[in-house]
Structure 1
C-alpha cells in the first residue's frame, strides 16, 4: 500500500477520484482538486481527511498552478470535463491543454498517473492489448470523447519525454463501486423500468473492475511510471457482457430487465489485462464482478429504505 506520501488527486469529487482520494487519505497527505459544484462532495472529502482545492484546471495558467498547487510525491490525474455537444474546441481547452501545464508544474514528482480510457482503441470484438490500433470508438455516442482521450495521451507522452517526468498512462475500462459507475447507471435504469441499450451487431463484453481493486493496483501502476510513459490497461480479470450483468442485477433486485437494440448503444470494449497482471504479480481483482454488483444492489436497497424511513 501507499503510505506516508504527499499526493494530488485531480477530479477528486468524481466517481473514481473520490473513493481513491478518500482511501489514500488514511495513510497519506492527500490534496483533492475539483471544481466542487456540489458542496456536499467537498465536505465529505474533508471529513475523510482530504485537503480540498476548489479550482478549474482549464482556468489556471502555468503561474496559477505554481502558486496554488502543493509540492507532492505523486499526481493522480482523473479530472475530465464531460459534455454532450460535439465541441472539439472546448475539449482541447478543457481536457488537453491543462495536461501539459500540469505535467510541467510537476516535472519533479516521483510519478504521474494519467487516467485514460479503453475507448481509445479501434472497435474490435476481441480483447485489446496496449499496442493494438487506436480509433474513434465512441463517435456514435459522444463524438469528442475517444478523440479527446487519444489527444490527451499524445500530450502526456510528449511532455513526459520533454521534461523527463516518470509517467503511467492507465487505460481504464469499467470502474464501479457500491454507488457509482456504469453498472450503477444500469441498476438505476432497471429500477426505474427503463430499457438497457445494447448494440445489435457487436459483442457487449467488458472487464469491470471494483474501485477497491483499483486502489490495490495503484502501487504497481505508480511503480511502473517511466520515461517514455508506460501504458497499461486498467480493468478486471473477468470478461463479462453488459446484458449478462444487467440480467444479474435484475435478478438480485427482483425486477424484469428489458433490452433495446440500437446502433447508438456503446459497443463492447474488453481490454487484455496481461500487462497489469505482470505488474501486480498475480490476479488483478480480489472482488469478483458478481460479489461487487451484489453489494451494489444491497447498498442501493438500504439507501432506498433509509430514504423511505426518513421523516
Structure 2
C-alpha cells in the first residue's frame, strides 16, 4: 500500500516537473515578441527545461513506463535546443587575421576600468565595446592607459546607462549613432591592415523589464541593421537577451553567428554578478560575420553587474 501511494506521489511530482520542462520548450520556440511576461520568462527557458529530466527520473523511480516515454520525448526536445551550445560549430576556421574582441558593461560607469584595461593589455584586445559609459569613466579609462593600447575610439557618453563606446587598435571611420534607440547604439568601420574594412557595432537595447516595447522595437531595429550589413563584421553587445529568446536568435539569420556557440562555450552566464545567486543568464554577446571564433570566455569585472566577454575571432581572408 505504501509503495502504491509513493508511486502516485512520484508520478504527480513527475508530471509537474515535466509540464515545467514543456513550458521551457514552448517559451524557447514561441514567438512571444509582443507579450512581455513570456519574453521575461524565456530568459530562463533552459532552466525550466531541466524539469523534463527531473520528471523522467521520477517516472523511472515510480516505474511509470508510459509517462517515462513521454518524458523521454520532451527531454530529447530540450537537448535538441541546448546541446549545440556545448559543441563547437565545426565550420572551417577563418584563414585571415585574428581580431580579439572584449565586450563589457560598466554599470553606470562605476566598474573598475583598470581591470578592463589590464585585460586589453594582457590579451592583446583589438576591439573593445563598452556600455553604460559615462564621461567620468572615459577619463578613468584614459588614466589607466587605454589610448596607448587602443588609440582609435568612437564614444557617445551619457549619464545613467545610456553611454556606449567603441575602442579600436586600428583606425575607425564612418562612425554613426543609430536613430530609434533610447540608449546610444553605435557602428563604425574598422580599417584592418590585413583584412581591410570590417564593420563593428556596439549595441545596447533597453532592458525589457524597464521598457518592454522599446526592447522589442530595438531588437527589430538591430536585426535590420545586421541584415543590411555586408562583408566581415564584429558585434559586441549587451542585448538584454539570451539565446533562449527568439528575438536574439533572429539576429543570427543573415550570416552572423554567436562566438560562444561557435566554440561550444556553453551557456556563458554574464548577469547578474552583483547578486549572491548570480550570474544566471547570458545577455552579453560577441557576434561575428565573415569568420569564426577560436576562444571565448567570460570574466568578472569588479563594480559591474555584468561579466565581460572576451572572444578571439579569426576573420576570413
TM range (shorter): 0.3 to 0.5
- Kindly indicate whether structure 1 or structure 2 has the higher relative contact order, using CA contacts under 8 Å at least 6 residues apart: 2
TM-score by length of structure 2 reads 0.34
Higher Rg: 2
Q: Which has the higher strand share?
A: 2
Q: What TM-score, normalized by structure 1, do the two folds share?
A: 0.34
